[in-house]
């Protein structure tokens, strides 16, 4: 009773590093992403741009692979 149908929360949704909106979508190329909000393009890098730590790229679109394990920064670089 009274179940409110809320929009599904998607905490794992990749957030655009540029506009910080959750509109990052995988592009045609592997490791490439495009923000459908600001139309900026990004690529997933193997070395963290923030702390220089190597990350593990998993061929998945999960945002977990986009976050540096060391500094929790984004592993996405604008291209």
Least Å from the CB of residue 34 to Zn ion: 9
Query: Which residues ranging from 2 to 61 are in contact with Zn ion (CB under 5 A)?
Result: 16, 18-19, 35, 37-38, 48, 50-51, 53
Q: Point out which residues pair with 24 in neighbouring strands.
A: 35
Least Å from the CB of residue 63 to Zn ion: 14
Task: List all residues 6 or more positions away from 43 whose beta carbon is below 8 Å from its beta carbon.
Answer: 31, 32, 33, 76, 77, 79
Tell me the C-alpha distance between 49 and 54, whole Å.
10
Residue ranges in contact with Zn ion by CB under 5 A: 16, 18-19, 35, 37-38, 48, 50-51, 53, 68, 70-71, 73
């Amino acid at each position: 009773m009274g179940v409110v149908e809320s929009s599904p929360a998607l905490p794992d949704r990749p957030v655009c590093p540029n506009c910080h909106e959750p509109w990052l979508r995988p592009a045609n190329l592997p490791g490439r992403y495009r923000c459908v909000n600001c139309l900026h393009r990004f690529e997933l890098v193997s070395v963290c741009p923030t702390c220089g730590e190597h990350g593990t790229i998993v061929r998945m679109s999960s945002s977990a692979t986009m976050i540096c394990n060391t500094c929790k920064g984004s592993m996405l670089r604008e291209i």
